Structure 1
Amino acid sequence: MNRKKNNKVAAVIDIGSNMLKMRISQLKKGEIVDIDVLEYPLSLGHEVFTEGKIRFESLRELSRVLHGYSSIMNEYGVDQCKVVATTAFRDAKNRSYVLDQLKIQNDITVQVLEDDQEKTLIYSEILNFLNQIENKKSENALISYIGAGTIGFSVYNGKHMVFSQNIPMGALKLHDMLGNIQELTEDFYTVVEEYLHSIIGHISIPFNKGIVSNLILTGNEIQLIAKICSVEPVNDCYTIPAEMLTDLFKKIRSMSQEKISLQYGINEETAELLYSALAIYISLIDFTTSDYIISPKVELWDALMRLMLIPKSGDEYFEHVRENAISCAQEIAKTYNCNQKHSDNIRKFACRIFDKMKGAHGLDHRKRLLLELAAILHDSGHYVTAKQHLLSAFDLIKDIDVYGMTDDEMLITAYVSRYNEYDVPNYDDVEFLRISDKNRLIVSKLVAIFRLANALDKSQKQKLKDIKVKLDNDKLLITAESNDNVYLERWAFEQCAPFFKEVFGYNPVLTIKSSLI
Structure 2
Amino acid sequence: MKNSLTAVIYLEPDQVSLRILELPKGRVINDVRSGELMVGRGNIANYAQNMEAIVNNLEGFKQLLKDYQVEDVHFYGAIEDLDPVDARYVGDQLEVRTGLKVQWLNNNQLMAQTMGCVVTILPEFKELSKHCLYLLTLGLDSVTLAFFHHGNFEKQWDLDLGGAKISRLVQRLRQTTTNPQEIIQDYINSKLEYIAPELKRKKRTVLLIQNAPVLNHHYISRGEHLAEVPEAPLDKADQELGVRPGSHGAWISSALTDAQRRVNLPNYLVIARTAHLVHPLSIYVTDISMMDGLVNGTINAGAQSQINKMIRTSADDIAQRYGIDMAHQEFVTKFACQFFDQLRPIHRLDNHARLLLEIASKVDDIGNFINQKGHYRHSAYILEANPLIGLSDKDNQIIAEVARYHSAESPTATQAHYRQMDDDIQLTVAKLAAILRLVDALDDSRQQKISAIKLKLTSDQVLKIKATANDDLVLEKWSFSKKSKLFNDVFGIQPVLIERGEN
Q: Same fold (TM over 0.5)?
A: yes
Q: Is the aligned partner of 1:61 residue 2:53? A: yes
Q: Say if 2:131 and 2:204, in contact at 8 Å, map to a contact too.
A: no
Note the C-alpha offset of 1:394: 1.8
> What's the counterpart of residue 295 of structure 2?
305
Q: Say if 2:214 and 2:255, in contact at 8 Å, map to a contact too.
A: no
> What's the counterpart of residue 18 of structure 1?
14
Q: Residue 43 of structure 2: SS of its match in structure 1?
A: helix
Measure the CA separation in 2 of the matches of 1:261 and 1:290: 18
Measure the CA separation in 2 of the matches of 1:500 and 1:233: 59
Structure 1's 309 and 335: CA in aligned 2 closer, same or farther, altered over 3 A?
closer
**AA aligned opposite 1:490:** K
Q: Residue 351 of structure 1: SS of its match in structure 2?
A: helix
Runs of 4+ off more than 6 Å: 209-212, 248-252, 259-262
What are the equivalent positions in structure 2 for 1:68-107 lying under 5 Å apart? 68-87=60-79, 90=82, 94-107=86-99
Post-superposition Cα deviations, 1:177-199, rounded to whole Å, max 9, x if no partner, equal 33221344342221211112222
> What's the counterpart of residue 433 of structure 2?
447
Q: Residue 31 of structure 1: SS of its match in structure 2?
A: coil
> What's the counterpart of residue 378 of structure 2?
392
> What's the counterpart of residue 199 of structure 1?
191
Choose 109-118 or 174-183, whichever is displaced more.
174-183
> What's the counterpart of residue 327 of structure 2?
341
Q: Is the aligned partner of 1:243 residue 2:232? A: yes
Q: Say if 2:202 and 2:279, in contact at 8 Å, map to a contact too.
A: no
**AA aligned opposite 1:506:** I
Which residue, 32, 39, 46 being the options, matches 2:33?
A: 39
Structure 1's 425 and 338: CA in aligned 2 closer, same or farther, altered over 3 A?
same
Structure 1's 251 and 459: CA in aligned 2 closer, same or farther, altered over 3 A?
closer
What are the equivalent positions in structure 2 for 1:396-435 lying under 5 Å apart? 396-419=382-405, 422-435=408-421
Q: Say if 1:160 and 1:327, in contact at 8 Å, map to a contact too.
A: no
Structure 1's 55 and 396: CA in aligned 2 closer, same or farther, altered over 3 A?
closer
Note the C-alpha offset of 1:422: 3.9
Structure 1's 508 and 12: CA in aligned 2 closer, same or farther, altered over 3 A?
same
Q: Residue 148 of structure 1: SS of its match in structure 2?
A: coil
Measure the CA separation in 1 of the matches of 2:244 and 2:55: 40
> What's the counterpart of residue 482 of structure 2?
495
Measure the CA separation in 2 of the matches of 1:261 and 1:292: 16
> What's the counterpart of residue 152 of structure 1?
144
What are the equivalent positions in structure 2 for 1:212-223 lying under 5 Å apart? 213-219=205-211, 222-223=212-213
Choose 399-408 or 271-280, whichever is displaced more.
399-408
> What's the counterpart of residue 190 of structure 1?
182
Structure 1's 47 and 65: CA in aligned 2 closer, same or farther, altered over 3 A?
farther
Q: Say if 1:151 and 1:167, in contact at 8 Å, map to a contact too.
A: yes
Post-superposition Cα deviations, 1:432-488, rounded to whole Å, max 9, x if no partner, equal 222112212111101110011001111011101222223333232222212312101
Measure the CA separation in 2 of the matches of 1:405 and 1:265: 34
Structure 1's 284 and 62: CA in aligned 2 closer, same or farther, altered over 3 A?
same
Structure 1's 124 and 134: CA in aligned 2 closer, same or farther, altered over 3 A?
closer
Q: For structure 2, list consecutive stretches of 5 or more residues without a partner in the other structure.
A: none
Q: For structure 1, list consecutive stretches of 5 or more residues without a partner in the other structure.
A: none
Measure the CA separation in 2 of the matches of 1:262 and 1:350: 53
Note the C-alpha offset of 1:15: 1.6
Post-superposition Cα deviations, 1:401-430, rounded to whole Å, max 9, x if no partner, equal 322123332222122123355432232222
**AA aligned opposite 2:17:** K
Q: Is the aligned partner of 1:282 residue 2:272? A: yes
Q: Residue 292 of structure 2: SS of its match in structure 1?
A: helix
Structure 1's 467 and 379: CA in aligned 2 closer, same or farther, altered over 3 A?
same
Which residue, 49, 52, 63 being the options, matches 2:43?
A: 49
Q: Residue 45 of structure 1: SS of its match in structure 2?
A: coil
Q: Say if 1:238 and 1:295, in contact at 8 Å, map to a contact too.
A: yes
Note the C-alpha offset of 1:514: 5.9
> What's the counterpart of residue 126 of structure 1?
118
User: What percentage of aligned pairs have identical amino acids?
Assistant: 21
Q: Is the aligned partner of 1:178 residue 2:164? A: no
Choose 178-187 or 67-76, whichever is displaced more.
178-187
Structure 1's 329 and 308: CA in aligned 2 closer, same or farther, altered over 3 A?
closer
Note the C-alpha offset of 1:44: 3.7
Structure 1's 449 and 35: CA in aligned 2 closer, same or farther, altered over 3 A?
same
Which residue, 303, 309, 328 being the options, matches 1:317?
A: 303
Q: What is the root-mean-square deviation of aligned Cα atoms in Å? A: 3.0
Choose 330-339 or 83-92, whichever is displaced more.
83-92
**What is the aligned residue count?**
498
TM-score using structure 1 length: 0.87
Note the C-alpha offset of 1:131: 6.0
Note the C-alpha offset of 1:207: 5.6
